[in-house]
Structure formats: C-alpha cells, structure tokens
Chain A
Amino acid sequence: MTAPAVGTELAPVMVAVTQEKINRYAEAGGDGNPLHTDPQFAAQTQFGGTIAHGMLLLAYLSRMLTAAFGEAWLSGGRLKVRFRAPARPGDTISAVGQVIRADGGGIVCAVECRNQARETLVSGEAEVPA
C-alpha cells in the first residue's frame, strides 16, 4: 500500500440515522438500553429523546477506514475516540477522516463523525500500519 500524503482526505461515509436503524442495531448488537430504543424512557433523560449507539457511529468510521485502507485496517488498525455529542434519529451523519501523519511506523488519521449541522459527535485518531 502506498502511504497517502499528509492532508489527504478519506472518502467520507454519509448515513441518515433513523429510529428503525437504531432499533436494528440494538437487535444485532444485543444492546437494548432503553436510551436507544424507548422514546418515552429517553425523553426523561438528559438527552430528551433516543440516541444512536456509540458503537453504531464507530461502525460508520470503520466502514470509511475499510474502504480507504482495506485489510490493513482489519489487521493492525487502531482507533481511539471520544463521544462528544449524541446522534439522534433524523440526523445525517458524515464519517470523515484526514491523514495527519504518515511515516514508516504507520498512517495516522484524524477522524470524526459529524451531524448535518457540522457538530462533532465523535472525534479521535485512527492508525493503520504502513
């Protein structure tokens, strides 16, 4: 794999989040936390409504990194992120990334998930072996 130059932007992934998709992920992931699936419960929390699973947003980042780096992401990839704000039903999520370092040790990308208002929901770094 030829290392991309610093500054290269990865092809973004855009996904429209719906309650149906959140429910589907809850079923697959076995995480039925009512914060994600029960609008009445979630309305009483600090979020005021249901939110997507953090792991669902990471799956969008992983899809972007798989498309960019192929098996190198699956065999040696690292990810370190913070969840900064929730994704809600009705949001359009963009998973984006940019190469910030590339040397013999690996390729490091700044990665984010943003909503349609360009609010950062998840941010951190991903590293792929060179």
Chain B
Amino acid sequence: MPPRLDTLAKGHEFPATTFVLSPEWVREYVAAVEDEAIGTLGPGLVPPMAVAALAVRALLDRAALPPGAVHIGQEMTFRRATRVGERLSASARIVSRGERQGWVLMGVDLSVSGDAGPVMEGRATLTMPAVEEAP
C-alpha cells in the first residue's frame, strides 16, 4: 500500500518508474478523450497529454491520492513527440507543501524522458484534505 500523497514532505523524490506506450493503452486513452486530431498527423503519434496521464498513473502507483484531492493548476512543456511502443521513464518530486485549515496545498514536479531524450516536464498543483489526527 503506497503512502498517501498528503503525508509526504517537501523534497520527497519518487523513484523513477518506466512504462510503455502500448498500442492498446494509447487506443484506450484516445477513445476516452475523444481525440480525433492526433490521427490526422499520421500513424503512431501519441497525444502529448497521454504521456502526462501515463506518467501521473505511474506516480499514483507510488503515492495514493487521498479521496477528495483536487487538481488546481498545471504547467507542462512538451519537448518532443512520442510514438506508440516507446518506453519512457517518469520521475517526480514534491517541490512545495503547505497546510492550512485542514487542507494540504502541494506542488509536484514531473519529468518524463526516453532513449531519445527528454519528452516532457511539468508541475501539478493539488489540494487535498489533510490526514486527521487521532483524538
């Protein structure tokens, strides 16, 4: 059972995790987001937001989002296009963490790279209920 994200401290680094842009998963993602544009660019290209989603999915294997967590901001830079079948590596680090009135505000930097170099980096800003102390 991974630790809850809100219990982790500023500076926490998540171990790099690898994943593959499998054709089945990319098809599932494209259908889920109804992305009719990516297919017009030619076969095999992956929507850039799919890479971000899969990197977040890999992150969620290492830290559980507490129920009620809300995404309040996002920055992303895409360095290069990716293709179906690529193996990528994602890493993440908690760059800010504050707590106020029972809510945690957290910034998480995420970067993704592959054999051909960096793919994307970004920062998610999240807020979530803090763990309640036992009475």
- 0 or 1 for each of B27-67: is its CB under 8 Å from A? (1 = yes): 01101111111101100010111101100110011000101
Instruction: Given A34-B67, A62-B47, A83-B71, check contact A28 B32 (CB 8 Å).
Output: yes
Residue of B nearest to A76 (CB): B78
Which B residues are within 8 Å of any A CB, using their own CB?
25, 28-29, 31-38, 40-41, 45, 47-50, 52-53, 56-57, 60-61, 65, 67-82
Interface pair A54/B74, CB less than 8 Å apart = yes
Interface pair A66/B41, CB less than 8 Å apart = yes
> Does any Cβ of B come within 8 Å of A6's Cβ?
no
Interface pair B53/A28, CB less than 8 Å apart = yes
Interface pair A62/B73, CB less than 8 Å apart = no
Interface pair B40/A67, CB less than 8 Å apart = yes
> Does any Cβ of B come within 8 Å of A77's Cβ?
yes
Stretch at the interface among A19-27, A97-105, A112-120: A19-27
Contact among A28, A33, A64, A75 for B67, CB-based, below 8 A: A33
Q: Which 7 A-B pairs have the closest CB atoms?
A: A30-B57, A54-B71, A59-B33, A74-B81, A66-B37, A67-B37, A62-B49
Q: Tally inter-chain residue pairs, CB-CB below 8 A.
A: 123
Residue of B nearest to A78 (CB): B77
**Bound complex: CA A53 to CA B79 (Å):** 24
Which A residues are within 8 Å of any B CB, using their own CB?
15, 21, 24-25, 27-31, 33-35, 41, 45, 53-56, 58-60, 62-64, 66-67, 70-71, 73-83
Contact among B33, B71, B72 for A25, CB-based, below 8 A: B33
Taking chain B's interface residues, is the majority helix, strand, or loop, or is none over half, making it mixed?
mixed
Interface pair B65/A63, CB less than 8 Å apart = no
Interface pair A35/B68, CB less than 8 Å apart = yes
**Bound complex: CA A54 to CA B50 (Å):** 13
Interface pair B67/A63, CB less than 8 Å apart = no
Interface pair B35/A63, CB less than 8 Å apart = yes
**Bound complex: CA A41 to CA B75 (Å):** 29
Residue of A nearest to B50 (CB): A59
Contact among B33, B48, B57, B73 for A81, CB-based, below 8 A: B73
Interface pair A28/B28, CB less than 8 Å apart = yes
Contacts of A25 in B (CB 8 A): 32-33
Instruction: Given A28-B25, A76-B78, A83-B73, check contact A55 B53 (CB 8 Å).
Output: yes
Interface pair B81/A75, CB less than 8 Å apart = yes
**Bound complex: CA A33 to CA B60 (Å):** 11
